[in-house]
Amino acid sequence: MLGDEDPMRLPPGRARLSDVARLAGVSAKTVSRVITGHHNVSPSTRERVLEAAQRLRFRPNHLARDLRQGGVSRTVAFVMGDLKNPFYSHVAAGIERFLAEHGLTMVLAATGDDPAQEARVVGAMLERRVHSLLLVPIAGDQSYLAGEQQLGTPVICIDRPAHNLAADSVVFANRAGAAEAVQSLLAHGHRRIAFIGSAMYTHDERLAGYRQALLEAGVAAVPQWERQDAVTAADAERVVRELLAGPVTPTAILAGNNRVSTGVLRALRDVPQQVAFIGFDDFDLADTLGVTVVTHDPERMGREAVSLAIARSSDLYGPPLQTVIPTQLVLRGSGEVPPDPASLVR
Amino acid sequence: MLGDEDPMRLPPGRARLSDVARLAGVSAKTVSRVITGHHNVSPSTRERVLEAAQRLRFRPNHLARDLRQGGVSRTVAFVMGDLKNPFYSHVAAGIERFLAEHGLTMVLAATGDDPAQEARVVGAMLERRVHSLLLVPIAGDQSYLAGEQQLGTPVICIDRPAHNLAADSVVFANRAGAAEAVQSLLAHGHRRIAFIGSAMYTHDERLAGYRQALLEAGVAAVPQWERQDAVTAADAERVVRELLAGPVTPTAILAGNNRVSTGVLRALRDVPQQVAFIGFDDFDLADTLGVTVVTHDPERMGREAVSLAIARSSDLYGPPLQTVIPTQLVLRGSGEVPPDPASLVR
DNA sequence: GTGAAAGCGCTAACAC
DNA sequence: GTGTTAGCGCTTTCAC
């Protein structure tokens, strides 16, 4: 007969809520209640619905659910520079895990550390109506996000604060960490300590910590040893060779991050004099190689960012919060070598 | 007057398509055409619409668009073990970049390398109606995905094939890569070569390549040197110590992956005899340390997976495809040391 | 080249 | 405890 459908036969496409409802002999709303786990359903009905859902291999459509619930998805965007950078991938791991515990999903997008890409990439995420935006800011200005905050999307900056935007942020205790490293070098007798890093927020902060520690110890700053021109490992390698070829050479080096560390270590490998070394950021094999580092916990940074996002979504217009995560100095030997007399006379 | 709204004033919430339409004095459909870039719009109308959209800070709602277009989003899911593993994060980077070029977004979920988590995590992705599923299979059975394929969701397995499911996959040339490494060790005079890895697809394949190379060279296999019990770096470290404490010790070691490499190197550091070493997977500082490795390109693996997904979505029921990515042996010294006479007599 | 009406799959509000 | 109605924001007909 025309219009006489066999409800037991699987429909050609994906089963919908209404298909389950028809098969179970209830209304769509009741199925909805069962699926979302509401309690206003009698056990027997629930049973029948679940059975029907299973038979039809029903999977609720979150797209439709999110749309109906106000156009905000249960998805959080993480926009960072490059997943190949272990720092970012560890932060992402922390975010993903913590989100999963809250039934949220992470979408990921990379700016390639290109300031010009940020707004475009962020825009694509916002069009997906993400629940909130976790961003490692790279552009010089984030004021374009003020409207989104206003409209209810939490914006959390990771690793560095936003420019021209009142947003929550999670950062490491960069100054304190660098100061602690320098104090350790000072305690081992060093007075000629170089900082090698680049020109960005975290390195500025670390350099500030370095300066502060030297100042407190009464050690005069040497401008030539405050290098902010090492972005890549190759840069760092070159800078170290330059420094060690100078008339007065440092006896200890503090590296601004793990990329710089790699270059510094490469340069120090071929150099006769002993130079004490401490790196910011831990890295693979640092323990095996006996490299002293200032470590931090990128996963925790991810978790704290998610915490801020969740908190912010229920207090949209409160004052911006900043979470500061402490660092740890891990002594492994390379920072504990005494000043090399060979490098003192030159 | 009641009902008299000023169309110039920003509405309290997010602007919708219809808001733009009202402000521009056109229908919703026309705005839709402009936003999605259709050509059947006169330049002057397009201009007015764009101006209105900009004034209202309109961002199209992809949730709604995707729902209307058939419940399939422009989002691709990547389900892997753990983002902290650099292999996975590099694959993810390749996926993300290639997707972005196609206007697609990546959602990421981790199984924690726990077989029991796979179906749950994958299910969450499918409820988001992802365009396709890129999966590093960890469970012993993926037959539960057959229905999803049938319903139009491409399933692409990464790094290893699926179990009990006809799905596309991208893998490395594991056998050939391991065979090449062993051949190199043989060429440098080694006859006692150990393989250290664990019991999983990639390691099985690499072990097969190792065996094949030995067989072809007429070197008898030594079962005790085919170790598949090293999952962590600590395992590998212990295994190496065991092997080198035996009555007959290997003069060369092939590691099944980068975790194993770390452990092997740690163990070899404290050992008097020279042992040649080749690792599978490159790692940070491997070049600095002069470690010979079999490398591959995880980013390319990600890109190839996306290619397969896109191809599959327009040929849903064709035969499964497998993309095999070649490996490269990178000689850096550690694999080129000759057999140590000290370890031959014992 | 443009518009009106219908509907994607789901849930909020309000019945009963 | 369960059903009905309406509508999230967009795009697909199909009309003009």
Distance CA A80, CA A259 (A): 17
Same domain, A50 and A88: no
Residue B334 falls inside a structural domain? yes
Question: Of B39, B60, B81, which marks where a domain is finished?
Answer: B60
User: Residues B147-176: what's their mean pLDDT?
Assistant: 97
User: Residues B326-330: what's their mean pLDDT?
Assistant: 98
Task: Name which residue leads in pLDDT, A164 or B6.
Answer: A164
Same domain, B238 and B89: no
Mutate to test the interface with B, among A108, A121, A265 (most CBs of B within 10 A): A108
- Report the 10 Å Cβ neighbour count for A260: 30
Question: What is the structure's pLDDT at A12?
Answer: 67
Is the pLDDT score of B296 beyond 90?
A: yes
Same domain, A202 and A87: no
Residue A147 falls inside a structural domain? yes
Distance D16 C1' – B153 CA (angstroms): 39
B82:A93 CB<8 A: yes
Same domain, B147 and B261: no
Residue A197 falls inside a structural domain? yes
Measured in angstroms, the CA of A276 and the nearest CA of chain B are apart by: 18
Contacts with A110 from chain B: Cβ below 8 Å: 93, 96-97, 100
**Window from A10-14, B29-33, B217-221 with minimum mean pLDDT:** A10-14
Distance CA A2, CA B275 (A): 79
The pLDDT tens digits of the residues spanning A317-329 come to 999 999 999 999 9
Distance CA A120, CA B88 (A): 26
Is the pLDDT score of B9 beyond 80?
A: no
CATH number of the domain residue B144 falls in: 3.40.50.2300
Confidence of residue A3 (pLDDT cuts 50, 70, 90): very low
Same domain, A98 and A154: yes
Same domain, A190 and A337: yes
| Contacts of A9 by beta carbon, 8 Å cutoff, 6+ apart | none
Question: What is the structure's pLDDT at B3?
Answer: 39
Contacts with B289 from chain A: Cβ below 8 Å: 285
Matching residue, tokens 């021109």: A229
Is the pLDDT score of B28 beyond 90?
A: yes
- Report the 10 Å Cβ neighbour count for A339: 21
Same domain, B249 and B337: yes
Confidence of residue A72 (pLDDT cuts 50, 70, 90): confident
Contacts with B79 from chain A: Cβ below 8 Å: none
- The C-alpha angle with vertex A15 and arms to A10 and A21, in degrees rounded to 5, equals 95
Task: Name which residue leads in pLDDT, B138 or B13.
Answer: B138
Residue pair B157/B168 in contact (Cβ under 8 Å)? The answer is yes
Domain that holds residue B274: 174-296+329-345
pTM for the full predicted model:
0.90
Same domain, A165 and A186: no
Residue A2 falls inside a structural domain? no
Mutate to test the interface with A, among B66, B101, B121, B128 (most CBs of A within 10 A): B128
Confidence of residue B5 (pLDDT cuts 50, 70, 90): very low
What residue has its CA nearest to the C1' of D7?
Answer: A68
Is the pLDDT score of B6 beyond 90?
A: no
Same domain, B193 and B206: yes
User: Which member of A66, A126, A288 has the closest CB to residue B269?
Assistant: A288
Same domain, A292 and A211: yes
Is the pLDDT score of A118 beyond 60?
A: yes
User: Which member of B67, B89, B124 has the closest CB to residue A63?
Assistant: B67
Distance CA B281, CA A37 (A): 46
Beta strands (DSSP E) in chain A are 75-80, 105-110, 132-135, 155-158, 168-172, 193-196, 226-227, 252-255, 276-280, 292-295, 322-325, 328-330
Split into its structural domains, chain B has a count of: 3
**How far, in Å, are B25, B45, B60 from residue B18 at the CA level?**
10, 15, 11
User: Residues A124-146: what's their mean pLDDT?
Assistant: 96
Same domain, B204 and B142: no
Residue B65 falls inside a structural domain? no
Is the pLDDT score of B265 beyond 70?
A: yes
Is the pLDDT score of A7 beyond 70?
A: no
Nearest to A228 by CA among A212, A205, A252: A205
Question: What is the structure's pLDDT at B8?
Answer: 47
Same domain, B140 and B259: no
Is the pLDDT score of A265 beyond 60?
A: yes
Q: Average pLDDT over chain A, rounded to whole?
A: 92
Is the pLDDT score of B284 beyond 80?
A: no
User: Residues A22-47: what's their mean pLDDT?
Assistant: 92
Residue A65 falls inside a structural domain? no
Is the pLDDT score of A5 beyond 80?
A: no
